[in-house]
Amino acid sequence: MDGEVLRDDQWEKVKPFVPGGRKGKRGPRSDGRRFFDALLWMARSGARWRDLPEERFGPYQTAKRRYYRWIEMGVFDRLFEAVATDPDLEWLAIDATVIRAQAQAAGARHKRGDLKPRLSAARAAASAPRSMLS
């Protein structure tokens, strides 16, 4: 679970952008850090909302509603702008297995029956053989 949560210094950078996490009359309104950890879990696992572990992050419907509410409020836009000025590159990993191209893009032979590019009518007329007598 340690790889799925923010460190304290990372959370302190993100905390000012998290709405609704301030203390109300009966205590904190919501646990923004737990929701943020749920978002990180979703991003890293690639799972659906339904697969969010309820015992760790609460009901998935609540997280899903808050996610779409934050999008409408522009929370993620403000957060990404602020974080982009000071990137933490420890999570950055570029691997050739992630960026794939079709074999033909690398110069491989085309399979039989593939469509071949045709000359346009203007180029075909310009490149048509002419007799030497005319």
Mean pLDDT of successive 10-residue stretches along the chain, which has 134 residues: 69 82 60 86 88 90 91 87 70 56 64 62 61 59
Q: How far is CA 106 from CA 66, 75, 100, 114, 117, in A?
A: 44, 41, 10, 16, 17
Q: Say what the pLDDT of residue 113 is.
A: 62
pLDDT given at position 1: 47
> What pLDDT score does 130 carry?
62
**pLDDT reported for residue 8:** 86
Query: Cα–Cα distance between 59 and 83 in angstroms, integer?
Result: 28
Please, where are the H alpha helices in the chain?
A: 8-14, 32-45, 54-57, 60-73, 75-84, 121-126
